[in-house]
Chain A
Amino acid sequence: MKISVRQICFILLCYNAVSKMLLYPTVLSHYCGRDLLFAALIDFGVQAVVVWAVSFLCSRTDKTFFQLLEGTFGNIFARIIYGLFALFFIAATIVPLCEQKLYVHTIFYDTVPSLLIFLPFFFFSIYAAGKKFTNIGRSADVCMPIFVLSLIFVFSMSVLEIKWSSFMPVLKTPVKDLFGGALGTVFRFVEPCYVLMFMGHFKYKKGDAAKMTISYIGGALTVLLFLFTFYGIYGDIAQSRQFAVSKISLFFPAIDTIGRIDFIALYILEIVMLFALVLNIQLALHCVMKCTGYQNRAVLSLAVNAALIILLLVFDHGFNNLHTFYAKWMWIAFAVFANAIPVLAWTLRRKER
């Protein structure tokens, strides 16, 4: 088997959490203020149910999602769906990619560097995207301890600065704003698709669906704790603090004497962020391969990354507009691909175990 359940659990835990630590807290603070945790709960709750649904589907069949589609609607339809998924994964990469670029420019450099400084990312991306699921799984094995250690380090520097009063009074935000916040950030949730793509590529054992769902919930709890810390420190001005992960340890009392030692932890955490970002590209490549039947990974990786470089150059100065567009309209696409299709996969014809 190409990937193990443990590795999928790690992906659902650490990649899920790490991809929501940059602008997600800021945007959620903007929409929901002190009640941001409730908006996040709505999103995570829905996604957890979908993750459970797909994980549980894995217990019913040995086949991959492509094989299920092929068995029900035929090869052409399966290819079309995978083609659409490829586009979806590319679409799901653009905002995190632009976000990552801005994060790198802000956190890694004292002066704002040129876009060129971020472009070496694509060397890594081209190399990593061409790798198989085994590589994705093993990378997650390495990323998990890195994620845990660096996050503990950052949290330990910030936890004493949390002010409970920042969250008072609770649930005063209009319900409309809460759901608006949940809907406006839904394009950051693609985890059910990961399980859908890994389906049939791992050996399912009894209880694995629960393990995967619990891992996802673990990731969700980490994000909630992170949101709690972030808003607890900054309160109402949280919506103007970008790249939350770099801001939460700013008030650590010893920082004047020991320097911004938290940056070292952030640089280490960046490794996990890079793998989380590349996962979408790897899955996009997987879908392109299935759709076209073309097996040369190197060529496809070059093509997919070339498309992403062009998109990055296009949206380099229009990130705000892009983000607004995604928040306003892209929830539909994400609801369909990340939620509806994974649930509808239950209706596909399958041979029971």
Chain B
Amino acid sequence: MVTLEKHIKSVKDVLTSEDIIVFEFESSKGKKFAAIYADGLADKQLIGELVAKPLKAAENDANAEDVKKLLASPEVKDCKKAKDAISEISDGNVALFIDGESDFYIIGLKNPPGRTVAEPPTQVTLKGPREGFTEDIKTNLGLVRKRLKSDKLKVKTVKCGERSDTAVALVYLDGVCAKGLPERVEKQIAAHEIDLVPDSSYISQFISGKPRSVFKRNGTSEKPDIFCAKISEGRVGLIVDGSPIALTVPYMLVEDIQAAEDYYALSYRSTITRLLRIFALIIGIFLPAIYVAAQLFKIQIIPFQLLLKVSSSVSGLPVSPSIEMFLTLFVLEVLNEASVRMPKYVGLAMSVVGALVLGDTAVKAGIISTPAIIIIAFSAICLYITPDLVETTTTLRWIYLIVAGSIGPFGIALFTAFLICYLVTEQSYGVPLMAPFAPVIKNDLYDSMVKANLYALKNRPSALRSAQKVRLKTK
């Protein structure tokens, strides 16, 4: 026989902070109860409605079994160990102790503060669903379940983070996902011990296998429709509690050229926009480097009329073309960083300062030339066409600029060859990063640079080695 005081003490000895609330109450027959919860995480109103109210009204001298029947909450779990109670209370649930009973209950009344489902800021679409993931894992899993009602949808939750005890849900379609893949991902996460997992980017590094690489090894999405589409192709999805960014593996570079809208628009239009994205990507990375290389090493590349304009712009500049480009790019990066961090009303003022004071005045003062600003601005716009690749592409733009400024056009060609050589051997969970281009996978090419119509995409991507190849059958 364990007294209520002993129960409370066992919890309070560990969870000593003041936001752990002990709510003691009695039934009409004098039976004592204690509901322990974390203030701000559990729903107080529901505790009153679903737990305290029915128990207070109980007329018999309720034992543990009777109490369970009286509880109006749909999520009630039996528990024996104080350790489990502590973990659940920290997670936002309520532990209900009964005087004289050694067993207790965990009641799922978690309601942590969070935002509602809204359109994700990083993946805005004109056509197609507008729902986005939130920071709450349960909401996110609900958004997935809403779209994949299959009994084959499996969700396996693992914990990561010694102190944060963050839930990571592995979501996959059984029988579609390649055999052994979820286990491999789980093993990879379990191999890491860290105190805190604040965001999915931590898990992203754990599962990448090559955290030092400039290229990521997993897909990211804030939209449940994209996430579900990727899962139904045979990937494993990861939803991390506290993060609106869901991850998917295996990953291919081509994924970031595909946008959600491509699948909702006419395939011809989608092909045009994909080609546009690829050209924009190439221009965004290479344009500043080629401009510098041309000015320093091979002036013939620049058309004569343009050369006259450029030479009149750059004449009298106190710095070399490469330094000038570095400075302009540096200013752009600073402005970019500041505009993301600053409050919106200050950001507006800063845009004016950035555009007028820095841009216009610097040109008028003869510190930076107009072509340099145009090139950097255009490069930035081009790179933001593929937002998921921005981290990689902006880094590459810096590297190319250094290479172009030191070795010239040969350096650009050489570094590109090096990148190709590196990328063709890189893999994400056995899937080549450059698939379907290297190795060429004919079936998958229909959804790469071009976007064929739905009937041409009858099979799942072969590169993913899905257990179930066909996804579209016509009768």
Contacts and interface: CB of A to CB of B under 8 A. Distances in A.
B304 A104 contact: no
Interface string B411-451: 11110111011101100000010100111100000000000
29 contacts: A4-B439, A108-B413, A109-B410, A110-B300, A117-B410, A124-B421, A127-B418, A128-B417, A128-B421, A131-B425, A135-B424, A137-B439, A139-B424, A141-B437, A256-B304, A258-B303, A259-B301, A259-B303, A259-B307, A260-B300, A263-B298, A263-B300, A263-B301, A264-B301, A267-B413, A268-B413, A271-B413, A271-B420, A274-B417
B214 interface: no
B302 interface: yes
A324 interface: no
Contacts of A270: 410, 413
Interface pairs A-B: 10 shortest CB-CB: A259-B303, A138-B424, A138-B438, A141-B438, A270-B413, A108-B410, A260-B300, A274-B417, A108-B409, A128-B421
Contacts of B421: 124, 127-128, 131, 135, 139, 275
A127 B420 CA distance: 12
A118 B408 CA distance: 11
Interface string A138-153: 1101110000000000
A18 to B, nearest CB: 13
Contacts of B418: 123-124, 127-128
Given A127-B418, A128-B421, A138-B439, 10 more contacts: A110-B300, A113-B408, A121-B414, A127-B421, A128-B418, A135-B424, A138-B438, A139-B424, A260-B300, A263-B300
Nearest to B409: A108
Interface in B295-316: 297-307
Contact of A134 (B306, B412, B425): B425
Interface of B: 290, 297-307, 407-414, 416-418, 420-422, 424-425, 432, 434, 437-440
Given A110-B299, A141-B424, A271-B417, A120 B432 contact: no
* Interface SS of B by simple majority: helix
A268 B301 CA distance: 13
A257 interface: yes
B64 to A, nearest CB: 63
The listed residue with most B CB atoms (<10 A of its CB), out of A4, A131, A259, A264, is A259
B407 A120 contact: yes
Contact of A6 (B307, B407, B440): B440
B337 to A, nearest CB: 31
A257 B307 CA distance: 11
A65 B303 CA distance: 52
Contact of A120 (B290, B305, B411): B411
Best-buried of B304, B306, B307, B407 by chain A (most CB within 10 Å) = B407
A120 B408 CA distance: 12
Contacts of A215: none
A189 to B, nearest CB: 23
A136 to B, nearest CB: 9
A93 interface: no
Contacts of B432: 138
B407 A117 contact: yes
| Chain A CB within 10 Å, residue with most, of B420, B432, B437 | B420
Given A121-B414, A259-B307, A270-B413, A139 B420 contact: yes
Given A138-B439, A274-B414, A260 B408 contact: no
Nearest to B415: A124
A158 interface: no
A132 to B, nearest CB: 8
Interface in A2-43: 4, 6-7
B307 to A, nearest CB: 7
A70 to B, nearest CB: 28
Contacts of A108: 297-298, 408-410, 413
A104 B434 contact: no
B300 A138 contact: no
A120 B417 CA distance: 12
A258 B421 CA distance: 32
A323 to B, nearest CB: 22
A271 B413 CA distance: 6
Contacts of A110: 297-300
Q: Taking each of B301, B409, B413, B438, which has the highest tally of chain A beta carbons within 10 Å of its own beta carbon?
A: B413
A31 to B, nearest CB: 30
Nearest to B424: A138
A256 B424 CA distance: 39
A145 to B, nearest CB: 8
Contacts of B420: 139, 142-143, 271, 275
Contacts of A118: 410
B287 to A, nearest CB: 11
